[in-house]
Amino acid sequence: MMWIAGVRALYLQALHPRAVRGVVQNSDFRRDPWGRLLRTADFVGTITYGTTLEAEAAAAKVRSIHRRLSAADPDGERYPVDAPELLLWVHCAEIDSYLQTARRSGFPLTDAQADAYVDEQRESARLVGLDPSDVPGDTASLATYFDKTLPDLAATTEAYQVFAFLQAPPVSPLVVPAREVVWRRASRLAYAALPAFAHELYGRRAPAEATVTRRLRLTGSALRAVPAALRWQLPPGHILKAVGRLGPGSHPSAYRLSKAATAGGPEPN
């Protein structure tokens, strides 16, 4: 489900004019779409599941790249792509997407656990160059941030370029049928899961929230029904290493989460 969440985040992030210009003017996502997606996923996986040293090294590399980049507004004014307000928008759109997608797909998180997740992710914000004290630390603060930022958002030409890319990334003609069957369905579900204000900005009518939640839950249930023996062959190496460091039986489950909630907090998974 985190792939769907990640694509939702990209749709959402594209609605900040300066943030999306920074991507369009500096990124090779159109020439190497799958490489860009996989590198982004690997970075998120490393700072989530890697050792402290691995996470710090990956973040230092990203910060170094961002420091050298800038973008230009239509009037020619240049600005750094690592401006705090842009990093904060990217962070909040990502965290909201992961959290909303997980919860709506049926992953059992209490309100307290959701707040704990948002708070913990201030460490990932620090890694990319933000002051954690400037980053929302619970779901209420995250919602307030979106309300405050809404006047700065717009569906620009660059946003629609990203939209079109996410709907149908370029692929070899041989795999176009697979893209239509697998990617397009996931991308459309990710778009449907956007908040109502994002649909309004893109100029499209928001689907019924209950209908989208039902689709997310069905998709989540289907993925969680994959046999464990197969499922644990799928994650990247840093996830398997993290599970190994935590010891036998360390992968999260509905039972462990509910047990942690009654004990006063989530287990370190």
CA pair distance 91, 13, nearest whole angstrom: 9
Where is pLDDT greater, at 55 or 242? 55
Output the pLDDT for position 251: 58
Output the pLDDT for position 249: 64
pLDDT in tens, 225-266: 877 666 555 566 777 777 778 776 665 554 444 454 455 444
Query: Can you tell me which residue has the tokens 């929302």?
Result: 136
pLDDT in tens, 109-118: 999 999 999 9
Residues ≥6 apart with Cβ < 8 Å to 118: 95, 99, 136, 137, 138, 139, 141, 142
Output the pLDDT for position 32: 74
Q: Average pLDDT of 183-202?
A: 95
Output the pLDDT for position 191: 97
CA pair distance 82, 125, nearest whole angstrom: 12
CA trace torsion 189, 38, 23, 52 (10° rounding): 110
Output the pLDDT for position 42: 87
Helices of type H across the chain: 2-13, 17-26, 33-49, 52-67, 84-104, 111-120, 122-127, 139-149, 157-167, 176-178, 184-192, 196-202, 209-224, 228-231, 237-246, 254-263
Indicate the burial class of 50 (C-beta count within 10 angstroms; 0-12, 13-18, 19 or more): buried
Q: Which of 97-101, 194-198, 244-248 has the lowest mean pLDDT?
A: 244-248
* Sign of torsion over alpha carbons 145, 117, 44, 59: positive
> pTM for the full model?
0.85
Q: Across the strands, what pairs with 71?
A: 79
CA pair distance 198, 159, nearest whole angstrom: 11
CB 113 within 8 A of CB 107: no
pLDDT in tens, 118-149: 999 999 999 999 999 999 999 999 999 999 99
Q: How many CB atoms lie within 10 A of CB 264?
A: 7
pLDDT in tens, 20-33: 999 999 987 777 77
- pLDDT class for 267, splitting at 50, 70, 90? very low
The 3-state DSSP class for residue 71 equals strand
Residue 70 main-chain phi, psi, to 5 deg: -145, 170
Where is pLDDT greater, at 243 or 2? 2
